Amino acid sequence: MKQVKRAFKYRFYPTVAQATELSRTFGCVRKVYNLALAARTEAWARGERVSYNATSTLLTAWKKTEELAFLNEVSCVPLQQTLRHLQTAFTHFFGKRSKYPRFKSRKKSRRSAEYTASGFRFRDGRLTLAKMAEPLDIVWSRPLPEGTTPSTVTVSQDAAGRWFVSLLCDAPTLRPLPATDTAVGVDVGLEHLLTLSTGEKIANPRHERKDRTRLAKAQRNLAKKAKGDGANRAKARRRVAKIHARIADRRRDRLHKVTTRLVRENQTIVIEDLAVHNMVKNRNLARAISDAAWSELRSMLEYKATWYGRKVIVVDRFLPSSRLCSHCGALAGSMPLHVRTWTCGGCGTTHDRDGNAAKNVLAAGLAVSVCGADVRPQRRPPGGQSATKQKAPRHEP
Active-site position among 21, 114, 208, 354: 354
Return the half-sphere exposure (C-beta side, CA atoms, 13 A cut-off) of residue 250: 15
Tell me, what DSSP letter sits at residue 324?
B
| Rg of the Cα atoms in the chain | 25
Is residue 296 annotated as part of the catalytic site, yes or no? Answer: no
* Cα separation values, 314 from 265, 298, 360, Å: 18, 10, 13
Helix (H) or strand (E) holding 262, with range, is helix 231-265
- Residue of 21, 187, 291, 374 with catalytic role: 187
Gap between the Cα atoms of 140 and 312, Å rounded: 32
Partners of residue 152 on adjacent β-strands: 116, 168
Given the residues 21, 114, 208, 272, select the one marked as catalytic.
Answer: 272
DSSP for 75-123, written as a single string: -HHHHHHHHHHHHHHHHHHHTTSS----PPPTTTS-EEEEEEGGGEEEE
Q: Is 272 a catalytic residue?
A: yes
**What burial letters (b/e) apply to 329-340, b meaning 16+ CB within 10 Å?**
eeebeeeeeeee
Q: How far apart are CA 368 and CA 180, in angstroms?
A: 19
| b (16+ CB within 10 A) / e for 356-378 | bbbbbbbbbbeebbeeeebbeee
Angle between helical axes of 231-265 and 294-308 (0-180°, round to 10): 50
Contact status, residue 169 vs residue 144, Cβ threshold 8 Å = yes
Q: What are the C-alpha distances in Å from 311 to residues 119, 186, 308, 317, 397?
A: 38, 13, 9, 19, 39
Helix (H, G, I), strand (E, B) or coil at 331: strand
Q: Contact, 273 vs 376, CB < 8 A?
A: yes
- Residue 114 a catalytic site member: no
DSSP structure string for 213-240: HHHHHHHHHHHTSPSSS-HHHHHHHHHH
List beta partners, residue 203. Answer: 192
List the catalytic residues: 187, 272, 354
